[in-house]
Structure 1
Amino acid sequence: MVVSSRAVAAVSLGLIGVMALASSSQGQQQDVAVRKTTTQSAAGPAPAPATFGSIDMTAVFKGYDKVKVSGEEFKAAVMLKKKDLMGIMQQMQQESESLAKMTPGSSDALKIEDKLTQLKASNEAGREQAEREFALREAEMLATLYKEIQSMVTRVAKFRGMTYVLRVSNDPVTGSDPNSAMRAIERSVVYADTTNDITKEVVQYLNAEYSKSRGGATPKATSSVTPNPASVKPAGN
């Protein structure tokens, strides 16, 4: 049988078309696979779930021994400066009493008036300077204490596997103190599981480090965790 050239051409075109379709389909499948792989690679591993802890910062400031010592030192410095200013006030009082016995306009009276003016200026300048110095000193003291507490909170939180630590208040709400209810209403955190509260641990570690820095003995434990502030680990771990 003789096959015409037209039949050969038709078969050839058909084979070419099938091969083209197969190549196109394979390319599309490869593109889908590449896009899927790229998407999965870009997404990356899922982030670890957040773990929250809580702390009563007011209780920490009240329980941290260094806060008490720093407060007493600050108060002593204020009282010393106040004593100096009171000395100037006493001089002014004495000069005023002397002036009352003088003849108005006399040379002695004028001298006392000049001295009173100087004492008054010295007293005002000393008072203003003291206010500035103590305001700055108090701010620096609070900043230092807060940074120390924040650092210990970070160490305890990392050891406990916490990613966030929220500030809470453990003060009770009582009818005898109307302001306690208002303070409770304004709290950002209404409920926090006490098992994740690190207040006592932070206070314990802070006092242990502070006592060690002063060459004292480690304070008695107030929680089930034995203080080891260097690594923030319970004893035996």
Structure 2
Amino acid sequence: MPISIRAAAIMGLGLVGTLGLAARPTVAQNADPQVQRSNAGTAGAGQAARGAAATLAPAVIAGIDMERVINEYDRYKESSETFKSEAMKKQKDLEVLLAEAKQLAEQRDQFGVGTPDYQKFSDQLADAQAKFEAQKNKISQDFTIRESNAVAEIYNDIRYIVDYIAKKKGVTFVVQVGPNNNITGENPNDVMAAVARNVVYHDPAAEITDEVITTLNAYHGRRKSQQGSAPAPAAPATGSAPAPAAGGN
């Protein structure tokens, strides 16, 4: 059987190591005592480091289904309804501009190409189309920024409650999990999401999703009642506010 280059290299290194060991007794007989003391100190430091690592408390891990938490968070539902309502209003504004452009196009087509009236309405149509595109882009950018800010605030709320529950339960790591159900190939997105999931299986008893949802909504409701009908602000930084009223177990 032929020997690969990698195997030959390993064997060569082993041979060099053997030759080196054969030559060491003569060198060791005349070793410097200071060097020996240094080596002993290094070994002692390594043992101390291993001992310190051994004293670390074992990790306590809990799981959370972030998709469920977000979808069942009242603040997310409220934000979604607000965005939907405002998007419909903006859509109507765009439809008005689009109707104006369509009317200008119809008026232009009543004249022959190259006539002064045709050119006049062509210029007005170009202005109307530019106005429509500019307004559409402005609305899109505005909604993108507002949506990003809303999601950030919702995530900070969730992070605040998760931090509170984790500390209450003595949990050291909270990882994202999904349902343990089998998947089908009907929805390619579900398949890809399941394959990319870091946690393939988790014990439902180690999941805090339900408690997070209950506590999160209670926290949001109390915050709204304290502020009346004003929009709820972002959650405070971790550890900077009293713990929320816990829900669940």
TM-score by structure 1 length? 0.68
Match of 1:231 in 2: 243
1:123-202 to 2 correspondence within 5 Å? 123-170=132-179, 172-175=181-184, 177=186, 179=188, 180=190, 183-202=193-212
Alignment counterpart, residue 81 of structure 2, candidates 61, 64, 72: 72
The 3 A distance-change label for structure 1 pair 101 and 177 is: closer
Q: Amino acid of the residue matched to residue 209 of structure 1?
A: Y
Moved beyond 6 Å, runs of 4+:
none
2-structure distance, mates of 1:154, 1:123: 46
Within the candidate set 108, 122, 127, 2:131 is matched to 122
Residue 61 of structure 2 corresponds to 52
Query: Structure 1 residues 194 and 44 mapped into 2: Cα distance closer, same or farther (>3 Å)?
Result: closer
Give me the CA root mean square deviation.
3.2
- Unmatched tracts of structure 2, length 5 or more: 1-43, 227-240
| Residue type at the aligned position of 1:139 | S
Instruction: Specify the alignment match of 1:215 in structure 2.
Output: 225
Q: 3-state SS of the aligned residue for 2:143? A: helix
Q: Aligned residue for 1:63?
A: 72
Kept after mapping to 1: 8 A contact 2:94/2:135: yes
- Shift in Å, 1:75: 2.0
Summarize the Cα distance change of 1:171–1:99 in structure 2 as closer, same or farther, 3 Å threshold: farther
> Offset of 1:94 from its aligned partner?
1.1
3-state SS of 1:53 partner = strand
Q: State how far apart, in whole Å, the 1-side matches of 2:192 and 2:222 are.
A: 40
Name the % identity: 31
TM-aligned CA distance change 1:131 to 1:53, over 3 Å: same
* Alignment counterpart, residue 111 of structure 2, candidates 77, 91, 102: 102
- Structure 1 residues 162 and 90: CA distance shift in structure 2, 3 A: same
- CA separation of 1:209 and 1:100: change in aligned 2, threshold 3 A: same
* Higher alpha-carbon Rg: 1
Aligned-pair distance for 1:104? 4.1
CA drift of 1:103 comes to: 4.5
The TM-score normalised by the length of structure 2 is 0.65
Q: Secondary structure at the match of 1:59?
A: helix
